Amino acid sequence: MAYVAIADRDHEIEHHDPTTFITKYVWSQDHKVIAIQYGVTAMFVGLIALCLSAMMRLQLGFPNSFSFITPADYYQFITMHGMIMVIFLLTALFLGGFGNYLIPLMIGSRDMVFPYMNMLSFWVYLVSVIVLLASFFVPGGPTGAGWTLYPPQAILPGTPGTDWGIILMLVSLALFIVAFTMGGLNYVTTILQARTRGMTLMRMPLSLWGIFMATILGLLAFPALFVSAVMMTLDKVAGTSFFMPAIMSMGENLSHEGGSPILFQHLFWFFGHPEVYIVALPAFGLVSDLLSTHARKNIFGYRMMVWAIIAIGGLSFIVWAHHMYVSGMNPYFGFFFATTTLIIAVPTAIKVYNWVLTLWQGNIRLTVPMLFAIGFIFTFTHGGLTGIFLGNVVVDLPLSDTYFVVAHFHMVMGVSPIMVVFGSIYHWYPKITGRMFNETLGKWHFWLTFLGTYAIYLPMHYLGFLGVPRRYFAMGDTEFMPESAFVLNQGITISALFVGLVQLLFLYNIIVSLKKGKPAGPNPWNATTLEWQTPDTPPKHGNWGDELPVVHRWAYDYSVPGYHDDFIPQNVPADATPATSEHGSDT
């Protein structure tokens, strides 16, 4: 039985606008409001995690100078910093924030397909954040097990926060997964089933391809984290032995016996590696649109970019054990996982080449979003190259658990996605708020952040080569560590504190510009994608007024010869434009 698409029966449906303050802004089912709720909550917890990293750096740069940072505190800061940044900030911001805002606007629909479930998704996410933050206030404080939560140490006395912290952490993760699943089902179904007339999958902006694939990865990878959270909670609360071998703790034999700690690592990284791409793929997508728009040039190799996203998504499920070369798993696994890891570098490199070739001979405008997008190419290439070092077993063994690893993953999935987050917030700020941000402040923010992060992470590679171990509270007197390592640590700390403070510029800019910014107009960047063609700015409930837009071309018709503008929006009919637009007239 054929089913009539929403775009063809839009006029039959009555649209009800919310009327009260509560339904408009609090219990809102509008994807744009939910996106902002997600975004603000994510940035709020991100600021907490930033403060935690500042505390860690204070201790590492100037050991023994701060009596209020104990070793237990330090481990709790590490754990919470990592978990918040990866899951509660980046995943929530890219998918809950940008996904929610951009999906319906970019595909030309009025909202998500299940707005009520979308609203629930945010509120469950908020509960998971509250449960997580509550662990700061329980006896024993939050867990200090490291963000990977490896058992047996995660649930045994000796690790900070084994009374309550670890339980709250696991409960919070389970709640987050429930929230993500409700949102994720919405994103996938909306992209596949609720596009407007003319919007084929191969005409979608790459932002949506990235978000789409990342959501699928999330739906298939978070189950592993959910299962391991359930089993570890049982190990902790009910005394089961899923992950617990026979073990002696504090001089006593524990009742645990026969469990498999490596099983947890496999489950965790079966989630954890796709999680890297859950964060990276939306960044890849968004940055592609930023580069193309501000270089006034079509994205280079659109089809190849789409297939690269799909290939990376598929491969990301068979590389997980490259996080486990030193775990004691069967050494033959290392061969397989090193090979797949190097294979996944191929589609990733294709994407980097295509970004650079998009810039090639473009009419580059160095706006603030463009600066961040170009900054991303630098930091991502940099972090990607060190990834090739760590993906090979023999090189990984000596570098494992050193600052080289810290530098690698912060460059590739800390700094790089955050560059895209900033660039994208600046890029879509005029559409979300209707006002322009302060360009000068934005440029200061970029240069100080970009150079500052290099001042933080470049020296860490050197520390890693020296063999400085990560996750140590203080280095003490160690023979292999020269004086320079300690000086560098101080320098890194000063840079880190400075970069942290620079983010105040960003906050000041986006808050003050809400009121004081110049009115931006509907399409300040002269972009082609549908969200810039809405009848109102910011878009009203229902997005499109009376008529849904009709799409006639792909998302990248920039600088088409013979057309009076240097961009052709996706909803301009084919007969109004020159025939040279190769992707425009294929219907």
Binding stretches for another protein (CB under 8 A): 2-3, 5-8, 113-114, 181, 184-186, 188-189, 192-203, 219-224, 226-228, 230-231, 234, 238-242, 246, 255, 257-260, 263, 266-267, 270, 551
Residue 385: enclosing H or E segment and its boundaries?
helix 368-391
Please provide the DSSP assignment of 468-501 as one string. PBTT-S---S-TT--HHHHHHHHHHHHHHHHHHH
**Rounded distance between C-alpha atoms, residue 552 and residue 298, angstroms:** 16
Closer Cβ to another protein, 176 or 525, answer by number = 176
Handedness of CA 406, 388, 361, 425 (dihedral sign): negative
* Least CB distance to another protein at residue 11 (A): 14
Closer Cβ to another protein, 56 or 154, answer by number = 154
Closer Cβ to another protein, 257 or 439, answer by number = 257
* Least CB distance to another protein at residue 266 (A): 8
Closer Cβ to another protein, 244 or 468, answer by number = 244
Across 457-477, b (16+ Cβ under 10 Å) vs e yields bebbbebbebbbebeebeeee
**Cβ contacts of residue 531 below 8 Å, gap of 6+?**
102, 105, 106, 428, 431, 539
Backbone conformation region of residue 405, classed left if phi is above 0, alpha if psi is from -120 to 50, else beta: alpha
* Least CB distance to another protein at residue 571 (A): 13
* Least CB distance to another protein at residue 117 (A): 9
Q: Is 62 exposed, middle or buried (0-12, 13-18, 19+ CB in 10 A)?
A: middle
Whole-angstrom CA distances from 148 to 49, 53, 82, 86, 331 are 16, 17, 9, 11, 21
* Least CB distance to another protein at residue 243 (A): 9
What is the Cα Rg of the chain in Å? 24
* Least CB distance to another protein at residue 347 (A): 20
**Rounded distance between C-alpha atoms, residue 426 and residue 437, angstroms:** 7
* Amino acid occupying residue 163: D
The token duo for 134 is 């509550």
* Least CB distance to another protein at residue 240 (A): 4
Closer Cβ to another protein, 134 or 254, answer by number = 254
Closer Cβ to another protein, 278 or 436, answer by number = 278
Closer Cβ to another protein, 77 or 264, answer by number = 264
* Least CB distance to another protein at residue 536 (A): 24
